[in-house]
Amino acid sequence: SLEAAATTEFLAIGAHAVRRSLTGAGARSLVIGAGPIGVGAAIFSRIAGHEVTLLDTSAERLQMAAERFGFTSGIVANEATADAVKEKTGGDGFDVVFDATGYGPSMEKAFSFVAHGGALVLVSVVKDDIRFSDPEFHKREMMLIGSRNATRADFEHVADSIAKGLVPVDKLITHRTTLADAPRDLARWAHEKSGLIKAVIRVGG
């Protein structure tokens, strides 16, 4: 459908990140940030056969991810996050961590959630310098991977996954408007974000 086609670009960002991670089925993954890009990464992490956990500062977002997409393993980011990660993984950390927050301090903290031999994929791009402990980085023998944009292969993977019913497009699109009403609605949704994942603007018809 046209609406499904409209979701392929943002979903391809997450699909590309998962492909870049070089992580196989059965791995435990942590997706930090339950916004649109994070949810997309989580969906394609699950399609890749990973056991997915979401981490976000918003309990509401985690609840929505559980109810709408079945991501029932969630961690609310707070002072006890490190302990929660240890509890979820038996103290090992996650095999692959995707940071989709666009927030420098979160990206720096993500290094500590990666298991020995695991990978950290920075999906977000920030203008800040990112700092981390080199001894800790080397001790874990972890991979650090930058991921941005997407390739034709990623778009084709997204389209094929949608066609196979693996992507719940109807649940990703939470808001709709027309081209005439877009200036009013987009301005309102910039502040009224509760329940918002992706909005579609209908042009013509």
Domain boundaries 2-152, corresponding CATH code: 3.90.180.10
- pLDDT over threshold 80, residue 205: no
Quote the mean pLDDT of the chain.
Answer: 95
- pLDDT over threshold 90, residue 204: no
- Given pLDDT bands bounded at 50, 70 and 90, which one contains residue 128? confident
- pLDDT over threshold 90, residue 31: yes
Q: At what angle do helices 8-20 and 36-47 cross, to 10 degrees?
A: 60
Residue pair 14/36 in contact (Cβ under 8 Å)? The answer is no
Q: Please, where are the H alpha helices in 111-196?
A: 134-140, 152-163, 169-172, 182-189
- Collapse the DSSP code of 12 into the 3-class scheme (helix H, G, I; strand E, B; otherwise coil) and give the result: helix
pLDDT digits (tens, 9 = 90+) for 180-193: 999 999 999 999 98
Token pair of 196, please? 């918002």
For residues 66-90, give the mean pLDDT. 96
pLDDT of residue 137: 95
Residue extents of the structural domains in the chain: 2-152
